[in-house]
A and B are shown apart, each in its own frame.
Chain A
């Protein structure tokens, strides 16, 4: 086998991408509190310690609550927007869709600061998980629309008309025909927005008040060097669950494609 310069480049690129992540479990099981080579011994002490920190548990629960709620709300909004843009025509459709997608490229720090000003100064509301959800829905919805747009666009419009022609109301035709066929897109959208919300830091940092999310909690812990191995253990668990989630999502997506007899146009994996 011939390995040219491009092959070497590809290997270096992958090493750069994944080596830091592989270091997480290495130090998570290392006995020393100092993150450095050589390794001093094997321990599961850091994982045990994870189970005793209640502030961490609260942060995890809080993050999961925010991520699940964000995923559901932004996916529902995404379904509405994707359907509106693919199925109907209305005045100023293109500029409206453009502005809806704009948060994709807006700097998050700007979004976070302006939301903070609006929520606290203009409306005089307190900060809580709800304000984080608000911010996360704002940044997740464009991703959901982008994913769902392609699902809705791939759908033959006459399928829905055929269901109506055969006696279904527009609502039941949507439920019986459109929804099952765009389900892989909906699941992708839920997963992506869940993941974005779960590890989002800037907006959560500005808007979370006294209920920190997991990333905000982790950032706070970094001030204490002796806590670093515990964070490594936490990171290991997070990476493992992300991989698991992605694999599940891909299995589900492929099964959906097979059932609908559609051609695989590429997913995450």
Chain B
């Protein structure tokens, strides 16, 4: 990266004996929509709060726009935050909430009122200024929190699980709006979430965190298609893991055998010794069932039976058994003319061996 807006190097955080952040090195660019993704307790919120200035790192350095933040308290950092609980001040009106950050600004009363109106307009709440803050719905509170954080035009907007309290429909709508808002204002957004789908939809880049460390930092497509470890692959999206034995390895690929799908050649970055045990990762959409179709060239097929199925409306997920004890989940798009198969039906599965990922030793 040519120039980073936020730069963390070797950041460590201890709470007593608990090691919350372990050697975080991270560079986030200007105008980027960046996500910190991980299960609860992985340190993602601690990292966000460290950037905001609510936690001091035990060691390591944090720079924002080139300036060292070590001695800069939260109230003087060029960051603003949208809290998980939104933290709307319940005793103030919507306008007073949104304009709270301007209290110390040198502008005149009229200029401030105009800024508040603009901020409310930006989040689609124009005309709500006089309302009591506690009378708002969940989605409106979220918008007020956004307007309040953006009115100071921070260099970085920090979002701590901002959508987790909303219901599914509203969450999906707000995901789109947040993304659009970020493009509109051009401010760097750092989003903390445990929802991998949300991170994939919204982010330019995602850092996946486990146990205080960044396990992988990549663009959503790379993270989804080329996860570096089994743990990341398991956390992002759905993945079938098949026991596999490596037969021979050479430069072009590895010949593996699996109990369910037989033997085939996969690509692998790392060298794997002959006879080693490994796991093969295959996404449900990497396989498909031949329902009145023929297999395309370059693909492999295997015969099995439907052990279970789950109908999702747009998709049907089949658990298919291929002789062995394990089942493999295969997703099929539902469309006109394609029947939904019954449990017990014999099927033929088809897959491209290039979509299989090899994991070893984690």
Contact = CB atoms under 8 A, between A and B. Distances in A.
A164 B75 contact: yes
Interface in A210-269: 259-262
A73 B84 CA distance: 37
B90 A260 contact: yes
Given A261-B135, A262-B90, A166 B85 contact: no
Interface string B47-78: 00000101000000000000000000111100
Contacts of B74: 161, 164-165
Contact of A167 (B54, B91, B104): B104
Contacts, number: 64
A64 B90 CA distance: 35
A163 interface: yes
A177 B89 contact: yes
Contact of B83 (A161, A168, A261): A161
A158 interface: yes
Contact of B103 (A164, A168, A180): A168
Contacts of A262: 90, 134
A159 interface: yes
A261 B134 contact: yes
The contact size tier of chain B is 20 to 34
Contacts of B104: 167-168
Nearest to B145: A162
A181 B92 CA distance: 10
A93 interface: no
Contact of B101 (A156, A167, A169, A259): A167
A258 to B, nearest CB: 9
B152 interface: yes
Interface residues of A, number: 19
A262 B90 CA distance: 9
Contacts of B100: 163, 166
B245 interface: no
Nearest to A177: B89
Interface in A168-188: 168-169, 177, 180-181
A261 B91 CA distance: 8
A245 to B, nearest CB: 25
Contacts of A159: 87, 89
Interface in A125-184: 156, 158-159, 161-169, 177, 180-181
Contacts of B152: 166-167
A180 B75 contact: no
B84 A261 contact: no
B80 interface: yes
A156 B87 CA distance: 7
Contact of B52 (A165, A168, A260): A165
Contacts of B132: 261
Nearest to B148: A166
Interface string B118-159: 000000000000001111000000000000110010000000
Contact of B84 (A158, A166, A181, A260): A158
Contacts of A162: 81, 83, 87, 89, 148
Interface centre among A163, A165, A177, A259 (most CB of B within 10 A): A165
A166 B101 contact: yes
A260 B134 contact: yes
A163 B101 CA distance: 8
A177 B148 CA distance: 15
A162 B73 CA distance: 13
Given A162-B81, A260-B134, A261-B135, A169 B75 contact: yes
A169 B73 CA distance: 9
Nearest to B134: A261
Contacts of A261: 90, 132-135
A158 B85 contact: yes
Contacts of A260: 90-91, 134
A127 to B, nearest CB: 44
Contacts of B54: 161, 164
Nearest to B158: A165
Given A166-B101, A166-B148, A167-B103, A156 B85 contact: yes
Contacts of A156: 85, 87
Closest 8 CB pairs of A and B: A261-B134, A166-B101, A162-B87, A158-B87, A158-B83, A260-B90, A164-B75, A165-B81
Given A165-B75, A166-B152, 5 more contacts: A156-B85, A162-B81, A165-B79, A166-B75, A260-B90
15 contacts: A158-B83, A158-B84, A159-B89, A161-B54, A164-B75, A165-B80, A166-B101, A166-B148, A168-B75, A168-B104, A169-B75, A181-B91, A260-B134, A261-B132, A261-B134
